[in-house]
Amino acid sequence: MKRCVVIGSGLGGLSTAVVLARHGWTVTVLEQGTQAGGCLQSFVRKGTKFETGMHFIGSADPGQTLHRLLRFLGIDGLPLSRLDPTAYDVVRLEGEDFAFANGREAFVETLACSFPHERDGLHRYFDGVEQVAAASSLHSLNASPSALARSMEMQTRSVNEVVASIIADPLLQRVLVGNLPLYAGRRDRTPFATHAFITDFYNKSAFRIAGGSDRICALLLEQLQQQGGRILTRSRAERITCNDHQATGVTTADHFYPADLVVAAIHPRRLLDLLPDTPLLRPAYRRRINALPETVGSFTVYLRFHPDRLPYLNRNYYVYDHGGPWDCEAYTDADWPRGFLYLHLCHEANPQYAQAAEIISYLRFDDVARWQGTHIGRRGPDYEAFKDAHAERLIAAVERAFPGTRAAIADIYTSSPLTYLDYTGTERGSLYGVEKDLTLGAACHVQHRTRIPNVLLTGQNVNSHGMLGTLVGTMVTCSDLIGTERLYAEIRDAGHE
Ligand SMILES: Cc1cc2nc3c(=O)[nH]c(=O)nc-3n(C[C@H](O)[C@H](O)[C@H](O)COP(=O)(O)OP(=O)(O)OC[C@H]3O[C@@H](n4cnc5c(N)ncnc54)[C@H](O)[C@@H]3O)c2cc1C
């Protein structure tokens, strides 16, 4: 038995802990917060549950990629509620709705109703999405060399460039990138591959997590405990201790946890904070990590509705008032919000009506930086006024798009990038951690291996963010310890129905 300390109990930390515990490691997970889960946390106000960072997932039908991973992790009992397969995502542009339907044919034909002259282009676009997704890490053991080469190419070409090379209609080009907020995509910077993974993930099938995303956390914790692992909340890792060659353990405020392996499921910059003076990390490595770009942060309004007022919308809306999906992060004070993601949450007992909704829009960290260092709930009246004013602007935008919403609102809650900084330790409260920016090439790639042989990284910054992206990162990190062939064989075996 070898001792492993995992720092951070988000999806990345917990899934890595489960896999390692199953393979004979004695695992302790240290979590700084009072609750486990990181972005898997839900919170309850007046009996209504809200999501913080996992609103919907995809590819979870039997045989699909995420379903295989959930089975492998032993959490495929996760209760799911399917989004409308004829319109799981709706992009509202220039006042018109454009739906994304599940499955290739339905996706193409639904959009071809509005863009019949682009039917061939839509097929070619879909080919591109599927080919890139099929060559991603989880599939790559079976992927052909030509698929891998295509995938590599799509890491170096931007979403806008590839879409414009396939689709001539400028409105359809904008519609197809309507889901940009799911990866905080930026013009000329975000690789087409990032867009393709996420579009393919949800196009295969799309679900909310019935009962809240904290169910994922609860199921992972159950698995961890069954394998003899443990989690300690209110246990902030403050330092990783090293000898001349490697790490020897992790220190919290009041305890030292000896370790043969340390897995940091936190932002790589936070890992550097835990290793302030070891010569094992060279200055060039520190400089590179410190220079990593971050995705933009977000401002979210959580609405609790009066019961039985608003019919439940079983889909996500991406609404753009100012031209379209691109450059929404470059807002000015005068034109914020340039766009928002609007989604309903329903009561399982009464699914015709929305119980709650969330409105998510970009907000740059600099807008709230002056309150950094203040405490949650005690940041002062000027911060409250800032949040109220932003909430009002978002609610007004929703009311314009969905008249009648305001009258159904019972309570309003909000969060800003500071909330995420304090709850998850994500650098500058960014939505998805480190940004994939093709103009920086390998400089924005986070290796799971650090310069210290027994300190590894896992979580959304290795590989990619999101339910699938983070779990693929877990597989990358764990396969290094367990063996790629063995791990992938276990995933394949678990996937057999
Ligand atoms: C607003 C929002 C909406 C999203 N919606 C979706 C969605 O609908 N679908 C989807 O697939 N993905 C979504 N995502 C992305 C997804 O939630 C994340 O990519 C994923 O959950 C990240 O998991 P993680 O383990 O890497 O990090 P985190 O969840 O951030 O976990 C990191 C954990 O480490 C802890 N920690 C940090 N420092 C220390 C320390 N020193 N000691 C101990 N503990 C520490 C933190 O408290 C935290 O619990 C969303 C994200 C956001 C922010």
Say how many Å lie between the CA of residue 413 and the centre of ligand 1. Answer: 20
Half-sphere exposure of 402 (CA within 13 A, CB side): 26
The rounded percent of the chain whose pLDDT value lies above 90 is 87
Could you identify the atom of ligand 1 that is nearest to the CA of residue 298? Answer: 1
pLDDT tier at 152, thresholds 50, 70, 90: confident
35 pLDDT higher than 70: yes
* Residue 140, pLDDT above cutoff 70: no
Ligand 1 pocket member 30 (CB < 6 A): yes
424 Cβ closer than 6 Å to some ligand 1 atom: yes
Average pLDDT of 183-204? 96
Q: Is 55 in the pocket of ligand 1 (CB under 6 A)?
A: yes
pLDDT band, very low/low/confident/very high, at 25 (cuts 50, 70, 90): very high
Task: Please compute the mean of the pLDDT values over residues 250-272 and round it to a whole number.
Answer: 97
Q: pLDDT tens across 360-395, in order?
A: 999 999 999 999 999 888 999 999 999 999 999 999
Alpha carbon of 314 to ligand 1 centroid (Å): 25
pLDDT in tens, 402-428: 999 999 999 999 999 999 999 888 889
pLDDT at residue 195 tops 90: yes
Burial of 393 (0-12, 13-18, 19+ CB in 10 A): middle
- The answer to whether the CB of 463 is under 6 A from ligand 1 is no
Mean pLDDT value across residues 111-117: 98
Per the model's pLDDT, the better-predicted residue between 139 and 202 turns out to be 202
**φ and ψ at 120, to 5 degrees?**
-65, -40
Burial-class residue 349 by CB neighbours within 10 Å (0-12, 13-18, 19+): exposed
**Does residue 426 have its Cβ closer than 6 Å to ligand 1?**
yes
Quick one: pLDDT at residue 467?
97
* pLDDT score of 142 more than 70: no
pLDDT at 394: 98
197-225 core/surface letters (b: 16 or more CB in 10 A; e: else): bbbbbbbbbbbbbeebbbbbbebbbebbe
Measured in Å, residue 431 CA sits from the centre of ligand 1 at 9
- The confidence score (pLDDT) of residue 347 equals 75
Nearest to 262 by CA among 453, 459, 38: 453
Whether 162 shows a pLDDT value over 90: the answer reads yes
Return the axis-axis angle of helices 145-155 and 119-134, rounded to nearest 10°.
Answer: 100
Closest Cα to atom 27, ligand 1: which residue? Answer: 10
Which pLDDT score, from 0 to 100, does residue 493 have? Answer: 86
**pLDDT of 449 over the 60 cut:** yes
Residue 149 has a pLDDT of 76
* Residue-averaged pLDDT of the chain: 94
Q: Is the pTM of this model over 0.85?
A: yes
**Which of 54, 198, 361 to mutate to test ligand 1, by most ligand atoms within 8 A of the CB atom?**
54
Q: Is 334 exposed, middle or buried (0-12, 13-18, 19+ CB in 10 A)?
A: exposed
- Predicted confidence band at 144 (pLDDT cuts at 50, 70, 90)? confident
Distance from the CA of 425 to the center of ligand 1, in angstroms?
9
pLDDT of residue 432: 97
Residue 106 Cα to ligand 1 midpoint, Å, equals 32
Q: Would the pLDDT of 271 be above 60?
A: yes
Please list, residue by residue across 469-482, b when 16 or more beta carbons sit within 10 angstroms of its beta carbon and e when fewer do: bbbbbbbbbbbebb
Q: How far is the CA of 182 from the centre of ligand 1 (A)?
A: 14
Residue 497 has pLDDT above 60, yes or no: no
Provide the β-strand partners of residue 34: none
- Measure 217 CA to ligand 1 centroid, in angstroms: 11
Helix axes 104-114, 119-134, angle to 10 degrees: 150
Average pLDDT in the 132-147 region?
Answer: 74
* Ligand 1 mean position, distance from CA 14 (Å): 11
Nearest to 155 by CA among 136, 127, 183: 136
Which tokens sit at 417?
């990038």
Q: Does the beta carbon of 11 sit less than 6 angstroms from any atom of ligand 1?
A: yes
Q: Is 183 in the pocket of ligand 1 (CB under 6 A)?
A: no
* pLDDT at site 187: 96
Q: 54 pLDDT exceeds 60?
A: yes
Confidence label for 496 from pLDDT (cuts 50, 70 and 90) = low
Ligand 1 pocket, 39 CB below 6 A?
Answer: yes
| Average pLDDT rounded to a whole number, residues 70-91 | 96
Bridge partners, residue 414, by sequence: 301
Atom of ligand 1 nearest to the CA of 39: 29
